[in-house]
Amino acid sequence: MANRDDVSRELAECTECGTVYAARQWPDGRVKTIGSESCQCGCTEFALVETDEETMPPDRAE
Ligand SMILES: [Zn+2]
């Protein structure tokens, strides 16, 4: 059973080279890539990629 309060699966993009990884966003807002903590280029900063596959309320400001 999926727990909706659990971590959500997201996409994260490396801020250096733009490579996109599967990632998880934790309830505290942190984003961690799955399987590795850093990009192939060595960067460890990732930006969450917003996906429109789910219908999100437009007033969700973050
Ligand atoms: Zn990178």
Going from the first residue of the chain to its last (62 residues), give the mean pLDDT of each consecutive group of 10, the final group possibly shorter: 69 95 87 89 91 62 59
At residue 58, the pLDDT reads 64
- Centre of ligand 1 from the C-alpha of residue 51, in Å: 20
Distance, in Å, from the CA atom of 34 to the CA atom of 45, rounded to the nearest integer, reads 13
At residue 23, the pLDDT reads 92
At residue 16, the pLDDT reads 97
Per-domain residue ranges of the chain = 8-49
Residues around ligand 1, an ion, CB closer than 5 A: 14, 16-17, 19, 39, 41, 43
Which residues sit opposite 21 in a β-bridge? 12
Report CA-CA distances (Å) from 3 to 8, 10, 53, 55.
9, 15, 19, 19
- Pairing outcome for strands 46-49 and 8-14: antiparallel
